[in-house]
Structure 1
Amino acid sequence: MTITDGHNGLAHVPLSLTPQKAKDYTTDQEVRWCPGCGDYVILATVRGFLAELGLRRENLMFVSGIGCSSRFPYYLDAYGIHSIHGRAPAIATGLAVTRPDLSVWVVTGDGDALSIGGNHLIHALRRNVNLTILLFDNRIYGLTKGQYSPTSEPGTVTKSTPLGSVDHPFDTLALALGADASFVGRALDSDRSGLTEVLRAAAAHRGAAFVEILQDCPIFNDGSFDVLRREEAPRRLIPLRHGEPLRFGAEREFAVVRSGFGLAVVRADDVGEVEVVVHDAHSADPGYAHALARLGDQQLNHVVTGVLRDVARPTYDDGVRAQLAAAGEPGDLQALLDGPETWTVGPPAD
């Protein structure tokens, strides 16, 4: 049995004939992350979600680059490739093009994806390859022992920036949207239900699905997202759900409204209900998703979570396969080499 809906990211991927559990995705490998690392929660969440997804494990492929997050394939009982620094999207693209029966996932970090792998990431998004890309963002290089990364806050003191970073960091969501990603989402590592909800939508999407997961590094950047887990969290986190008004806070006392060409956070009592923006993840206006991304800041005063954008457009892998089908069977190469010095390229013979 396969999922055959052509608009589904899992089209043609075989389903398991028996129910699955999270333990079915657990390998015999010792999980080697530091105690307290957010990767543990992400791993447990993904294992549970994959069981719910119900695909054949033989048709799952996880491709990673280099970094703490990139050990992920070792700990999932499915097919996986621990690949080259920053090049996971390129390898995953080849798999997606040649094997439409696979569900292909990329697991990467903020250093792996946004530094050496920056071009590979943006072009996979631009091309809209049918991949699910999970970017673990802890705002630091963990595996190489604590250098600042492309998402580190200005002023971050590390071994490579002893006087504080002077770099302006990437806004990861804005970067993905700038590359015209057809699906962009964000979740917090400790929010298992929210992460599962985003993963479910990302897996169902046909095209490049980009999911940033805010993840704590307890050794080199401890507590970087603590304000999103404690008593201040309700007034900082803006959960996005398609078709629902953008109101948040412990008493839903804050709201998001239009402000010029962008969006702004106001107290809900100061505006009418009709002024509150209703989230539209399927909006054809890319400016709306960009405005949502820009609601956030490095100080984490406001952080959007959930699915920002989920729109349909042609995928790269479908286009390549359609071209190959239209070209027909290859001709006789030896006859071509032995033939005249010129030849005519035309449509395949009937």
Structure 2
Amino acid sequence: MNAPVKIETSLKDWETDQEVRWCPGCGDYAILKAVQRTLPQIGADPANTVFISGIGCSSRFPYYMETYGFHTIHGRAPAVATGVKLANPDLDIWLVTGDGDGLSIGGNHMMHVLRRNVDMQIMLFNNEIYGLTKGQASPTSREGTRSPSSPLGSVDHPANPCAFALGSGARFVARGFDVSKKLPEVLIAAHAHKGAAFIEIFQNCIVYNKDVFDDFAAPKGAEERQLWLENGEPMLFGSEKTGGVRGLALDPAGPGLNVVTVEAGDWQAAGVLVHDVTNRAIAHMLAELPFGPFPMALGVLYDDPRPTFEAAVAEERRRASEGKVASLAKLLAKGQTWTVDGTAPDPI
């Protein structure tokens, strides 16, 4: 596998001539622009980049990127992306999926691409609803969500994408939301990670689940409701950084963390935690913090690389072929074979 060569591009180089067709106001537009702004920053090469998607509103994404793309079948994008990466490990692969495509029919495939640690960026657009199929409840829909499939309100407990990713063995887990100016920073960090990088992106469905994330994503007062994590920095939030997250020792009744007030900027005296992206236990706690008592944890929750699946497969192939000479003729003649000499049989 060769190191990618960085090239100079602009946002326009990543735009196609296809008409972008999402509902007016859909959060997917903002995510598309964030990705198109990010790729020039990382020096990505359109000729070496592949976007692979499943089925859903988010899965139209490959049509709008001036790269190679593959619009696959429902839930199977991780399997196809794994095959592409094994066939050509030098390709830069971005997998695009949604909360329904990736966590319902595709949950099994998502789990395996994460535990195998296949080198790719996985963007899961989470709008907590099935948008393409007209607003049914999805695996991430909140309890009480009224929809065509749950007219009295959903009784399902919603899946937590980041907790699922961590539980599946992901080595990189992050969060952002569609209109955030910091989303490109999260995407850059994911791309820098060698292995499967999972990014949950909260995305507003303007038609079937409008403004469901306004409790933390609305611009007014956002600093008080968002905890943007930075490695090596204290977990502070609020316009004046007067809120902090502190660890609780041996607290079986709570999430293991609590919110404290920071006085006079002395976050150390308040016991505020310093974020360590390699701490898996804290990452789990951050992923499952209940919003309301806590701010929404955003940014890189966990980043601790391990050897990748495609590297292990390449090494296995190397060992298996070591000292051997490839011969198609020998392979075909191996085992039980027979020869047809072309002589016509005697007439009966």
Fold in common (TM above 0.5): yes
Q: 1:128 aligns with which of 84, 92, 117?
A: 117
Q: Which residue of 2 aligns with 1:318?
A: 311
Alpha-carbon distance in structure 2 between the residues aligned to 1:103 and 1:311: 20
Alpha-carbon distance in structure 2 between the residues aligned to 1:151 and 1:231: 25
Q: Which residue of 2 aligns with 1:254?
A: 243
Q: 1:214 aligns with which of 192, 202, 215?
A: 202
CA deviation string 1:248-267 (max 9, x = no partner): 01211111111135222222
Check if 1:12 corresponds to 2:12: no
Q: Which residue of 1 aligns with 2:343?
A: none
Give the superposition deviation at 1:235. Answer: 1.7
Give the superposition deviation at 1:304. Answer: 0.6
| Residues 188/280 of structure 1: CA separation in 2 closer, same or farther (3 Å cut) | same
Letter in 2 for 1:287: A
Give the superposition deviation at 1:225. Answer: 1.1
Check if 1:200 corresponds to 2:188: yes
Q: Which residue of 2 aligns with 1:241?
A: 230
Check if 1:25 corresponds to 2:20: no
Check if 1:280 corresponds to 2:276: yes
Give the alignment's TM-score, normalised by structure 1: 0.89
Secondary structure (helix, strand or coil) at the match of 1:239 reads: strand
Letter in 2 for 1:245: P
Alpha-carbon distance in structure 2 between the residues aligned to 1:85 and 1:124: 15
Check if 1:335 corresponds to 2:329: no
Alpha-carbon distance in structure 2 between the residues aligned to 1:82 and 1:102: 17
Letter in 2 for 1:306: G
Secondary structure (helix, strand or coil) at the match of 2:334 reads: helix
Give the superposition deviation at 1:336. Answer: 1.8
Give the superposition deviation at 1:300. Answer: 8.7
Q: Map of 1:51-62 to 2, 5 A cutoff?
A: 51-62=40-51
Is the 1:187–1:213 Cα contact (8 Å) retained in structure 2?
A: yes
- Aligned residue pairs total 324
Check if 1:306 corresponds to 2:299: yes
Letter in 2 for 1:210: F
Give the superposition deviation at 1:96. Answer: 1.1
Alpha-carbon distance in structure 2 between the residues aligned to 1:302 and 1:209: 23
Give the superposition deviation at 1:72. Answer: 0.1
Give the superposition deviation at 1:94. Answer: 0.8
Percent identical: 49
Alpha-carbon distance in structure 1 between the residues aligned to 2:121 and 2:144: 32
Is the 1:148–1:156 Cα contact (8 Å) retained in structure 2?
A: yes
Secondary structure (helix, strand or coil) at the match of 2:263 reads: helix
Q: Which residue of 1 aligns with 2:75?
A: 86
Letter in 2 for 1:289: A
Alpha-carbon distance in structure 2 between the residues aligned to 1:14 and 1:85: 33
Alpha-carbon distance in structure 2 between the residues aligned to 1:152 and 1:266: 30
Is the 1:236–1:300 Cα contact (8 Å) retained in structure 2?
A: no
Check if 1:138 corresponds to 2:133: no
Check if 1:268 corresponds to 2:262: yes
Give unmatched runs, 5+ long, in structure 2: 251-255, 338-348
Secondary structure (helix, strand or coil) at the match of 2:233 reads: coil
Is the 2:175–2:297 Cα contact (8 Å) retained in structure 1?
A: yes
Check if 1:191 corresponds to 2:180: yes
Q: Give the CA RMSD over aligned residues.
A: 1.8
Flag the structure with larger Rg: 2
CA deviation string 1:291-336 (max 9, x = no partner): 1112244x69521110011102111111001111111155521232
Is the 1:158–1:164 Cα contact (8 Å) retained in structure 2?
A: yes
CA deviation string 1:125-160 (max 9, x = no partner): 011111110000000000001001111110001111
Letter in 2 for 1:217: C
Alpha-carbon distance in structure 1 between the residues aligned to 2:4 and 2:290: 36
Identify which range, 136-145 or 324-333, moves more after superposition: 324-333
Alpha-carbon distance in structure 2 between the residues aligned to 1:293 and 1:60: 30
Identify which range, 323-332 or 233-242, moves more after superposition: 323-332
CA deviation string 1:230-284 (max 9, x = no partner): 324222111000010001012111111111352222222398615110001123x
Give the superposition deviation at 1:337. Answer: 1.9
Q: Which residue of 1 aligns with 2:344?
A: none
Is the 1:256–1:277 Cα contact (8 Å) retained in structure 2?
A: yes
Q: Which residue of 2 aligns with 1:343?
A: none
